[in-house]
Amino acid sequence: MSVPSASTPTPRVPDSGGSVVISVDAMGGDRGPAVVVAGMAESAEKNPEIRFIVHGDEAELAGLIARRKVLAGRCDIRHAAGVVTMHDKPSQVLRKGEGTSMWSTLESVKAGEAQVAVSCGNTGALMALSMMRLRKLPGVNRPAIACLWPSRNPQGFNIMLDVGADIRADAHDLLQYALMGASYARNGLGLPMPRVGLLNVGTEEHKGRAELKQAHEMIEQAAAGSYTYVGFVEGGDLPSDRVDVIVTDGFTGNVALKTGEGTAKLVGDFLKDAFSNSIMSKFAAVLAMSSLKRLQKRIDPRRVNGGIFLGLNGTVVKSHGSADATGVSAAIKLAFTLAKSGFQDRLAARVAQGAAASASATDTGASL
């Protein structure tokens, strides 16, 4: 294990073969670097192509990594003395974040040393730093955070964006979210023709705010064989098999996400109470154990851990701050999948096409 100098950066595609290099913020999560390293080890064991650039306290990380044989020779440590905490304000991090593990993690992506950045850290700070260090893609006004939502679809998940990058979104922003979400669905979930829906208070075309009606027309016109637009969808469609990508503003998306997480926990608590209520219910739980385990696996939030920051000059995966090793491994797996697919280049190309089409439509409308 080595600590590369600035003059000898880790190659983006190492000479040893088609490896995927992932930049990991080891210090940002609630559970500390030991859990992050454990998650890295789980991913490394399943994917021999993965290599890591790990950012944080060098002495601590060296000891943790040395105890994981599967990580031997696959990690480069970048010392970063500072840590962005969950309580730090994004504005403070922008001014004083240099030297932190989060800043260093993004720098590896910016320099082309790694294809994807993964962090369990402060979401607001990570988005602010990502926008400052990586910059937005041309044609993107507001980046978005996309999450995976358990669904009845064969792939098991739907994509929803934005879920909290920015509480505002006009019609052009929603169009960009549709384009980026469809690209994510193709490259992350393997859907050649994803179905895109726009979240509204009803499915009728006359319902909703003015910007939603305008976005409805723009998203439909921009489909051009790259996705299928199903029109307006409602809250009940989020876990349905009617749609693959749900587009909304960050305020609505974040409220929906937190509501869904809270509801899932409530249902889990109710089931636990029901099966522990009496001797007979405990006996029934034993009989239903295999079915309950399948249900638990299907709705396990750790399996969908990893929000993607879309619209930047680089791919950033945000893991839950409280993620355990399994959750961190899931986020790294998602990062690996996107990197292998060439997602970032394809996303940039699709956004550029969408921006050109949107500008052309605007010019045509202005001339009429």
Give the E-state strand segments of 188-234 in sequence order.
Answer: 195-199, 228-233
Alpha-carbon distances of 95 from 121, 126, 131, rounded to whole Å: 17, 13, 14
Which amino acid is it at 344? Q
Query: What are the φ/ψ torsions at residue 164 (nearest 5 degrees)?
Result: 145, 5
Instruction: Say whether the peptide bond before residue 162 is cis (omega within 30 degrees of 0).
Output: yes
pLDDT in tens, the chain (368 residues): 333 333 333 333 333 345 899 999 999 888 899 999 999 999 999 999 999 999 999 999 999 999 999 999 999 999 999 999 888 898 989 988 899 999 999 999 999 999 999 999 898 999 999 999 999 988 888 899 998 888 888 888 899 998 888 888 899 999 999 999 998 898 888 899 999 999 998 888 888 888 899 999 999 988 888 899 999 999 989 889 999 999 999 999 888 888 887 877 787 778 777 777 777 777 676 767 676 666 666 655 555 567 889 999 999 999 888 888 988 998 999 899 889 888 888 888 877 776 666 655 555 444 43
- The angle at the Cα of 207, spanning 203 to 211, to the nearest 5 degrees, equals 110
User: What is the value of pTM for the model shown?
Assistant: 0.80
Which amino acid is it at 233? V
- Element housing 105 (H / E): helix 101-110
- Element housing 261 (H / E): helix 250-275
**Distance in angstroms (rounded) separating the CA atoms of residues 136 and 143:** 7
- The answer for 82, left when phi > 0, alpha when psi is -120 to 50, beta otherwise, is beta
**Distance in angstroms (rounded) separating the CA atoms of residues 171 and 200:** 13
Relative to beta strand 307-310, strand 315-318 is antiparallel
